[in-house]
Structure formats: structure tokens, C-alpha cells
Amino acid sequence: MFEEGAELKEKHGAGNVADLSLGNPVTEPPAEFHRELKRLVENPPAGMHRYMANAGYAETRAAVAAQLSREAGISFTQDEVVMTCGAAGALNVVLKTVLDPGDEVIIFAPYFPEYLSYIENHGGVARVLAAGERFIPSLDTIAGALGEKTRAVVINSPNNPTGVVYREDFICELGRLLHDGSARLGRQIFLISDEAYRRIIYDGLKYPYIWPHYEQSVVVTSHSKDLALAGERIGYIAVHPDCCQREELVAGLIHCNRVLGYVNAPALMQHLVRQLQAVTVDIADYQKKRDFMYQNLAGMGYSLVKPGGAFYLFPRSPLEDDVAFVRGLQQHLVLTVPGRGFGTPGYFRIAYCVDDKTLECSLDGFRRAAREFKLS
């Protein structure tokens, strides 16, 4: 489908095709990033590009820990932080560390499709549960799925592809459920929270952290979205300070960061993000884009949940066959991704992390498709 999109761009000119298929923000990193980069380049500390400990620079880990402590209300030290090659690297390191062959990892559809590969990479088995109402996982379904093979549950909020942000009461109940399940099954079940979009959150919402609600928890995240550094592969793992066997777990994470061939998170980016833990791209701009797209699409008759974060919309496909609809929309020069790519047929994903002109240009195509498929 990507190739078909490329052909369309060739035929009609890239400027006439609204490509909303990729989660690759056009946003530039914030001014503070450029300032800090200039400062480092003009006064480079000796050895700035050398290997460091596999966990990352102590100063960077300490800066991450300090910011987490400020935000999450519990106290972290650098010993609970491992710097990684992005959130993708982080998640692979965590899974390699905690999984035994055949262990199950619960994920929720719609899911970020790479989860399936990451789990398989390390001998795990993905147990996919359909999310319920408004794309929130059902606690009953989770309770029914926990078993002797369950090693971890992965959540992703704000969510790719739905943009949905889980509420604190949901996380609280999930924590209780996993606590009881671990006790009943006699094995520690990890809650792995993929927070790649944590800072991209709207309407003045305060991010509901998992930390107060479950101790056997690990966060994976990156600065790909909050600092617009997706190509630089810089992220981290944070482990709950009161996690069982925390020291062994962190030693395992550091070991796996090494033996998986990541070795360490890129050095220069570690120097940079140390100073930028409290900095974020312009969220108001993303919120404006969300509002613009949500209002217009809802007005055309598309059925969709208004998301609280990330930069995706996940409307119901006007055709039962989401691939056929996405193909139809392509003919109107708008590129999106079918929901079945995220384990949820009957929907499609819009990535609105593009410039306003592209969003405006997409409306005509969405309108024609709405008419063609009789939405209004």
C-alpha cells in the first residue's frame, strides 16, 4: 500500500497527495534543543562521543530520575533508569530481560503492530485482547486472560493508533487486578507501560502515571515525539523503585541492552536530553490539529472517538472492509492505514502530525469519500 501511495505522489505531485499514513512528525525540535546542541558543539566536553557505561551516563540517568520524581510523586534515582535506543529499543530490552520461552504477553487491539515482532523476538507469545468500549481494555477480559504463562501486560497510553488516554481509575483497577493475579498465580506479572506519547496530551489533562498503582511496573519511552527526535533513537527504561528484585532486574536490563547489540543509547543525544527533561514541543499546535480534524471529520459523518493525546485518529471505516475503504480514499488522494494493520479491522488510522496545509488539503478527499460511501 505504501508503494501505491508513492505511485500516487509520483503521478499527482507529492503536494497534491495528503499523506496521513506515518507517525513521523514534521515538527522540528524545540528551540532549547538547538541552543543546547550549539552549546555542546562549541564547547565539547572531552570524550563526548566515546562509549560510556551500558546503562548510559550517570548524569543523564539522574536528570531523568529527577524529572520523573517531580512529575510522578514518587522518588526515583539513577539506579532505576537505563538509557536506550528509543522506546523500541527499550521495549525489546525489557522483553528480553523478563521473558522465558513460551511466556505470554498480553496486549490490546488495536495495538502498535511492532509489538508482535518484539514479543516474538524474545521467545514470547502475544496474547491479544480486543479493547472494549471507546478502545479501553475491559478489566473482566484481562482477569479472564491471566494465567500460568502470563509474564507481562503491555499498555500504551496515549495510544497508537487510537490516541486514547487511559484514565487514572482504570489504571488503578488494573493495578489491583494484576496484584491479585500475581498473588493467585504465584508469579510476578509485569505491567509494561509504553509512554512514547506521554507528553502529547490535551485539554489540560494531567498524565495518569502507573507508578502509584502497581509496583511490578516498568515504563518504556523515548524523546521521539516530545522533543521531535524520532530519527535519533533516544529513550529510556524506568523501573518502579519498589519493584521486586529491582537490582537484579536493572542489572538484567543493562546486560540485555548490551547483548542485543544496542550497547548504549547514542552518546551525543544523551548529553542533550539531560538538559531537556522539562522541555516539550508545542502541544497546543497538536491540539489545534486534533480539533481541526476531529471537528471536520465528525461533521462529514465519520464515526470516531475524540482522542485525548498522541497525534492519531482512529475512525470507524465507512466500509466493513477497511482495506477497500483505504484504497478508495487513496483514489481521493488521501493516504491512511487500514485498522487491520493494528489488529482491528473495520477502522482506519489517520496520523495528523503533518503541516496544516496537508490537513486542509485532505478534507476534500475525506468529503468525497464520505459522499461516495454514503456517510451523510
Contact positions toward a copy of itself, by CB under 8 A? 22, 24-26, 28-29, 34, 37-38, 41-42, 44, 46-52, 85-86, 88-89, 91-92, 96, 114, 117-118, 121, 228-233, 258-269
Strands 217-222 and 81-84: unpaired
Report residue 334 as a C-alpha cell.
488521501
Residues in the chain: 376
Question: Dihedral sign, CA of 140, 137, 183, 209?
Answer: negative
CB of 118 to a copy of itself, least distance (A): 6
Place of cell 466500509: 319
Give min distance, CB of 43 to a copy of itself, in A. Answer: 12
Of 74 and 259, nearer to a copy of itself (C-beta) is 259
CA 168 to chain centre: 18
- CA-based Rg of the chain, rounded to a whole angstrom? 21
CA distance 70 to 310: 22
CB of 222 to a copy of itself, least distance (A): 10
Residue placing its CB nearer to a copy of itself in the complex, 262 or 366: 262
CB of 333 to a copy of itself, least distance (A): 22
Q: Is 263 left (phi over 0), alpha (psi -120 to 50) or beta?
A: left
Contact of 351 with 21, CB cutoff 8 Å: yes
Which run of H or E residues covers position 152?
A: strand 150-156
Least separation in angstroms between CB 271 and a copy of itself = 10
Closest distance of CB 301 from a copy of itself, Å = 33
Select 28 or 320, whichever has its Cβ closest to a copy of itself: 28
Residue whose CB is less far from a copy of itself, 103 or 215: 103
In degrees, to the nearest 5, what angle opens at C-alpha 45 toward C-alphas 40 and 51? Answer: 105
User: Closer to a copy of itself at the Cβ: 24 or 188?
Assistant: 24
Choose between 266 and 339: whose C-beta lies nearer to a copy of itself: 266
* Helix, strand, or coil (residue 196): coil
